[in-house]
Structure 1
Amino acid sequence: MPIHERFIRPRSRSPRPFRLRRSHGPAGFARSARSGRSLGALVLAAVAALAAVLLAPAGAQATPAGAQAIPPGSQAARAKESRPVYSYENAIREAVWVDTGLDTDGDGRGDRVAVDIVRPREPAQQGRKIPVIMDASPYYSCCGRGNESQLKTYDANGDVVQMPLFYDNYFVPRGYAFVGVDLAGTNRSDGCVDVGGPSDVLSAKAVVDWLNGRARAYTTRTGGTRATAGWTNGRTGMIGKSWDGTIANGVAATGVEGLRTIVPISAISSWYDYYFAKGAPLYDGGPADLADAVESPDAQAHCAAEQQKIVAGSPRSGDWTKLWNDRDYVLRADKVKASVFVVHGMQDLNVRTKNFGQWWDALAANGVERKIWLSQTGHVDPFDYRRADWVPVLHQWFDHYLLGYDNGIERRPMADIERHPDQWTTDRVWPPSGTAAATVHPVNGAVPGVGALSLGRAPAASTATFTDNPALDETSWAADIDKSTPDKAGFTTKPLTKDLRVSGSSKVTVTATPSTSSAHLSAVLVDLGPDTIRNYAGAGEGILTGTDRTCWGASTTGDSPCYLTTSADKTDVGSTVFSRGWADLGNYASDRKGVPLTPGKPYTITLDLAATDHVVPAGHRLALIVAGTDNGLIDPPASRPTLALDLTRSGARVPFVGGAGAFARATAGTGAPGGAPSLVAPKGVPVPRMTQRLPGDVRH
Structure 2
Amino acid sequence: MPIRMRFTTWRPLVRFTTWRSLAAVAVAALTAALLTPTAAHGAPRESKPVYSYEKAVREAVWVDTGLDGDSDGRTYRVAVDIVRPREPAQQGRKIPVIMDASPYYSCCGRGNESQLKTYDADGDVVQMPLFYDNYFVPRGYAFVGVDLTGTNRSDGCVDIGGRSDIQSAKAVVDWLNGRAKAYTTRTGTTRAKATWTNGRTGMIGKSWDGTIANGVAATGVEGLETIVPIAAISTWYDYYFAKGAPLYDSGPDALSNAVESADARAECGAVQQKLVDGAPRTGDRTPLWAERDYIKDAANVKASVFLIHGMQDLNVRMQHVGPWWDALAKNGVERKIWLSQTGHVDPFDFRRADWVDTLHRWFDHELLGYDNGIDDEPMADIERHPDQWVTSDTWPPSGTRTTTLRPGSGAQPGVGTLGLNKGRGTETFTDDPELSETDWAAQIGTPTPGKAGFVTRPLTRDLRLSGSSEVTVTATPTTSTAHLSAVLVDLGPATIRDYAARGEGISTLTDRTCWGASTSGDSACFKETAAKTADVDYTIVSRGWADLGNHASDVTGGPLTPGKAYRITLDLGATDQVIPAGHRLALIVAGTDNNLIEPPSTKPTLTLDLSRTSAHVPLVGGAKAFARATAGFGPLAPEATTLDGVQAPRTVQRIPGGNR
Is this a same-fold pair by TM over 0.5?
Answer: yes
Aligned mates of 1:512, 1:301 — CA distance in 2:
48
Aligned mates of 2:45, 2:225 — CA distance in 1:
20
Please show how residues 570-581 of structure 1 align to structure 2 within 5 Å.
Answer: 570-581=533-544
Map Cα deviations across residues 343-376 of structure 1 (whole Å, 9 max, x no partner): 0000000000010111111101111000000000
- Is 1:508 the counterpart of 2:471? The answer is yes
Aligned mates of 1:328, 1:391 — CA distance in 2:
30
- Give the counterpart of 2:439 among 471, 476, 479: 476
Aligned mates of 1:640, 1:665 — CA distance in 2:
41
Aligned mates of 2:260, 2:278 — CA distance in 1:
19
Alpha-carbon deviation of 1:408? 1.1
The AA in structure 2 aligned to 1:393 is: T
Alpha-carbon deviation of 1:410? 1.3
The AA in structure 1 aligned to 2:375 is: E
Structure 2 contact 35–140 (Cα < 8 Å) conserved: no
Aligned mates of 2:66, 2:47 — CA distance in 1:
36
Structure 1 contact 129–232 (Cα < 8 Å) conserved: yes
Aligned mates of 1:374, 1:98 — CA distance in 2:
35
Per the alignment, do residues 640 and 119 of structure 1 end up closer, same or farther by CA in structure 2, a change over 3 Å counting? same
The AA in structure 1 aligned to 2:51 is: Y
- Give the counterpart of 2:199 among 230, 234, 241: 234
- Is 1:440 the counterpart of 2:440? The answer is no
Per the alignment, do residues 275 and 76 of structure 1 end up closer, same or farther by CA in structure 2, a change over 3 Å counting? farther
- Give the counterpart of 2:515 among 552, 557, 568: 552
- Is 1:365 the counterpart of 2:330? The answer is yes
Alpha-carbon deviation of 1:70? 3.8
- Is 1:591 the counterpart of 2:559? The answer is no
Aligned to 2:576: 613
Alpha-carbon deviation of 1:105? 3.1
Aligned mates of 1:339, 1:579 — CA distance in 2:
27
Aligned to 2:566: 603
Alpha-carbon deviation of 1:71? 6.1
The AA in structure 1 aligned to 2:124 is: D
Alpha-carbon deviation of 1:77? 7.0
The AA in structure 2 aligned to 1:592 is: V
The AA in structure 1 aligned to 2:60 is: A
Please show how residues 404-443 of structure 1 align to structure 2 within 5 Å.
Answer: 404-443=369-408
Please show how residues 170-319 of structure 1 align to structure 2 within 5 Å.
Answer: 170-319=135-284
User: What residue ranges of structure 1 are gaps of 5+ in the alignment?
Assistant: 1-66, 672-700
Per the alignment, do residues 584 and 670 of structure 1 end up closer, same or farther by CA in structure 2, a change over 3 Å counting? farther
Structure 1 contact 464–644 (Cα < 8 Å) conserved: yes
Aligned to 2:308: 343
- Is 1:385 the counterpart of 2:350? The answer is yes
- Is 1:643 the counterpart of 2:606? The answer is yes
Map Cα deviations across residues 36-92 of structure 1 (whole Å, 9 max, x no partner): xxxxxxxxxxxxxxxxxxxxxxxxxxxxxxx99646997867442000000000000
Q: Which range moves more in the overlay, 93-102 or 222-231? A: 222-231
Aligned to 1:632: 595
Alpha-carbon deviation of 1:107? 2.9
Structure 1 contact 91–119 (Cα < 8 Å) conserved: yes
- Give the counterpart of 1:144 among 79, 89, 109: 109
Aligned to 2:627: 664
Please show how residues 15-94 of structure 1 align to structure 2 within 5 Å.
Answer: 70=35, 78-94=43-59
Alpha-carbon deviation of 1:430? 0.3
User: What residue ranges of structure 2 are gaps of 5+ in the alignment?
Assistant: 1-31, 635-660
- Is 1:333 the counterpart of 2:295? The answer is no
Structure 1 contact 70–76 (Cα < 8 Å) conserved: no
Map Cα deviations across residues 451-473 of structure 1 (whole Å, 9 max, x no partner): 111101013xx111100011101
Structure 2 contact 461–580 (Cα < 8 Å) conserved: yes
Structure 2 contact 64–77 (Cα < 8 Å) conserved: yes
How many residue pairs get aligned? The number is 603
Map Cα deviations across residues 230-274 of structure 1 (whole Å, 9 max, x no partner): 100000000000000000000000000000000000000000000
User: So what's the TM-score if we normalise by structure 1?
Assistant: 0.85
Structure 1 contact 105–299 (Cα < 8 Å) conserved: no
- Give the counterpart of 1:135 among 91, 100, 107: 100
Alpha-carbon deviation of 1:515? 0.4
- Is 1:117 the counterpart of 2:53? The answer is no
Instruction: Tell me the secondary structure at the aligned position of residue 249 of structure 1.
Output: helix
- Is 1:464 the counterpart of 2:391? The answer is no
Alpha-carbon deviation of 1:224? 3.3
Aligned mates of 1:357, 1:162 — CA distance in 2:
36
Aligned to 2:67: 102
Map Cα deviations across residues 512-559 of structure 1 (whole Å, 9 max, x no partner): 000000000000000000000000011100000000000000111100
Structure 1 contact 77–406 (Cα < 8 Å) conserved: no
Per the alignment, do residues 602 and 130 of structure 1 end up closer, same or farther by CA in structure 2, a change over 3 Å counting? same
Map Cα deviations across residues 176-207 of structure 1 (whole Å, 9 max, x no partner): 00000000000000000000000000000000
**Which structure is richer in relative contact order (CA contacts within 8 A, separation 6 or more)?**
1
Aligned mates of 2:153, 2:40 — CA distance in 1:
43
User: So what's the TM-score if we normalise by structure 2?
Assistant: 0.90
Q: Runs of 4+ in structure 1 displaced over 4 angstroms?
A: 71-79
Per the alignment, do residues 73 and 587 of structure 1 end up closer, same or farther by CA in structure 2, a change over 3 Å counting? farther
The AA in structure 2 aligned to 1:595 is: G
Aligned to 1:159: 124
- Is 1:356 the counterpart of 2:321? The answer is yes
